[in-house]
């Protein structure tokens, strides 16, 4: 499963990228706001850091304007994936932009039917939002499983990008289901390395080593 980092924090992306933990990046208007930087400037910097897809989101709501914004964003770098909302206008824009050979990430997906439409429109990625479904007492990982089954049934090439990842459990669950990609904030990715038994075992080893009175260097 590929790891995308859900942030516009260049320093955090660089740290994870140096560890080989970054296969791509996803951004959105909220993350751009949090960064406090110009969208074109920060997106160009991110594209220069990572080799994989960098999702940059349009803000228009009508198809023609989405297409125009998508083309503008795609000019930033070859690895831009234009991020479009899963609306009827978004699907129209998706069809046009993918027909032009551009990567498209269709976002804000909350049903298998929506994911089916996105695949039919040629989306490169579909982004089901797990955490937001959990917020309304539904199991977001069930949606990942439904989309996986539908896409496998018909050989769709659209990659399932599990989004709105809130916890390390989400990461494990979508990996078991077979999501192609997951995108998560940097802190969630870092927490994947943590386990209380690892911490306890390390402390035991260090205490025993201290008793030996030895040094390696």
- Percent over 70 (pLDDT), the chain: 100
Cα 146 from Cα 139, distance rounded (Å): 12
Structural domains of the chain ordered from first start: 2-212 (3.20.20.70)
Tell me what pLDDT residue 120 has: 98
Beta bridge partners of residue 159, listed in sequence order: 125
Q: How confident is the model at residue 205 (pLDDT cuts 50, 70, 90)?
A: very high
Query: pTM for the complete prediction?
Result: 0.95
pLDDT digits (tens, 9 = 90+) for 31-57: 999 999 999 999 999 999 999 999 999
Cα 31 from Cα 84, distance rounded (Å): 15
Tell me which of 83, 92, 120, 215 is the catalytic residue: 83
Active-site annotation holds for 211: no
Cα 138 from Cα 130, distance rounded (Å): 9
Going through 78-186 in order, the beta strands assigned E by DSSP cover 80-85, 103-109, 125-128, 159-162, 181-184
């Amino acid at each position: 499963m590929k790891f995308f980092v859900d942030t516009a924090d260049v320093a955090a992306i660089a740290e994870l990228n140096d560890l080989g933990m970054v296969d791509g990046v996803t951004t959105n208007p909220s993350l751009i706001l949090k960064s406090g930087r110009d969208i074109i400037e920060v997106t160009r910097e991110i594209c220069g850091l990572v080799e994989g897809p960098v999702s940059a989101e349009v803000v228009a709501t009508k198809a023609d304007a989405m297409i125009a914004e998508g083309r503008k964003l795609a000019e930033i770098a070859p690895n831009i994936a234009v991020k479009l909302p899963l609306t009827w206008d978004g699907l129209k824009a998706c069809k046009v932009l993918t027909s032009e050979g551009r990567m498209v990430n269709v976002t804000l997906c909350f049903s298998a039917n929506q994911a089916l439409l996105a695949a039919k429109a040629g989306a490169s990625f579909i982004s089901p939002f797990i955490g937001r479904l959990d917020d309304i007492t539904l199991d977001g990982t069930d949606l990942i499983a439904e989309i996986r089954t539908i896409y496998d049934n018909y050989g769709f090439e659209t990659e399932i990008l599990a989004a709105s990842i809130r916890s390390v459990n989400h990461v494990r669950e979508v990996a078991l289901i077979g999501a192609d990609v997951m995108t998560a904030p940097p802190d969630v990715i870092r927490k994947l390395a943590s386990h209380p038994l690892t911490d306890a075992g390390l402390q035991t080893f260090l205490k025993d080593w201290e008793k030996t009175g030895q040094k390696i260097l």
